[in-house]
Structure 1
Amino acid sequence: MTSRNRVIVVAVLLVCAIAAAGAYALSAHQDPTATSTGPSPRATATATANATAPATGSVAWVPHDPRLADVCRTALPGQARDTLALIATGGPYPYRSDGVVFENRESRLPRQRSGYYHEFTVVTPGSQDRGTRRVVTGTAGEQYWTADHYASFQEIDPRC
């Protein structure tokens, strides 16, 4: 098995383990009375399992774009961690526009094909609208945080 194949196998196993841990953790916090129309199939497909729990073990995390600053998942506001948990389970989301394609018009994230990124609102206490905080996910599983409505991004490090 080549080194690249080993990395791919480890990454797949890590994502599966994190998804299982996240589903278990979220089951205790789900509101059975909550209703939702649910995310679009494309938004569900981009939901990433590494949003739910930090990785354990010796597998190193490699940022998708080393030019972007990174931020520990645990250092994010609680509302951002809540949004990451919702993404991992496919919703329900608090805003109708959650899960829509993020166009990356400002090119602040790595350049990808159209439809690669999806955005999700991070609730801002006291805001009368969606506010400026978002989580943007990539199809390959990467996650980005912006507190200033796309003016800057940090890649979310799922290990911490």
Structure 2
Amino acid sequence: MRPGSWQRLLLVVGLVVVLVFAGIQWRQADGGEPAAAPTASGSPVATRSATPVTSSPVTPPDRSEPPACSRLPAEVSDAVAAVRNDGPYLRPRDDGGTFGNREGLLPAKPRGYYREYTVLAPGQKFPGPRRLVTGGQPRLGTEPVDWFYTSDHYESFCQLRP
């Protein structure tokens, strides 16, 4: 290769890597739209939408609240108590971390509004699919404004009123 060719090749490869990384970040920050799908019991549950995400500058649709939770496993009460008491958590390194709402199933809020916590799922490999998601909690150990529960690792949510 001619002198300087390696430098140009490295520059082009570096630019491609940066563009790919920026595209991935942009795609992760762009949430989907919610849709209500009936469950076996006939009640709607917020689930992922098959509607493609567009990048046009239109106002996003109003993300309505997920339905109220009707029946909850007993372990949810333990997770609620841990949130209110700032522990003990099942996964101390992860519980209380930011939930990004990438699925777009919860009402749109600023980044950092939602936090997630593990809910014990007996009989399933730890940590399992159950999570408690809170919103409007300025710091750990304070009472959240919003409470949501998912039994299927963010595929659907119901609103909790503890």
Measured against the shorter chain, the TM-score band is 0.5 to 0.7
Is the aligned partner of 1:108 residue 2:71? Answer: no
Residue aligned with 1:113, SS: coil
Q: Which residue of 141, 154, 161 corresponds with 1:157?
A: 161
- Structure possessing the higher relative contact order (Cα contacts under 8 Å, 6 or more residues apart): 1
After superposition, residues 19-34 of structure 1 pair within 5 angstroms as none
| Higher Rg | 2
Residue aligned with 2:133, SS: strand
The one-letter code of the counterpart of 1:128 is K
User: TM-score w.r.t. structure 2 length?
Assistant: 0.53
Q: Distance in 2 between matches of 1:101 and 1:153?
A: 17
How far 1:68 moved relative to its partner? 1.5
Q: 1:127 to 1:110 in 2, by over 3 A?
A: same
Residue aligned with 2:153, SS: coil
User: TM-score w.r.t. structure 1 length?
Assistant: 0.54
Pick the structure with more helix per residue: 1
Residue aligned with 2:160, SS: strand
Is the aligned partner of 1:97 residue 2:87? Answer: no
How far 1:129 moved relative to its partner? 2.1
Which stretches of structure 1, 4 residues or more, deviate above 4 A after TM superposition? Answer: none
Is the aligned partner of 1:128 residue 2:125? Answer: yes
Structure 2 portions without partners, runs of 5+: 1-62, 137-143
Cα distance per residue 1:45-87 (max 9 Å; x no partner): xxxxxxxxxxxxxxxxxxxx75421015xx3111111100110
After superposition, residues 5-154 of structure 1 pair within 5 angstroms as 67-72=65-70, 75-95=71-91, 96-139=93-136, 141-154=145-158
How far 1:157 moved relative to its partner? 2.2
Q: How many residues align structurally?
A: 92
Residue aligned with 2:68, SS: strand
CA RMSD, 1 decimal: 1.5
Contact 2:132 2:149 in 1 (8 A): yes
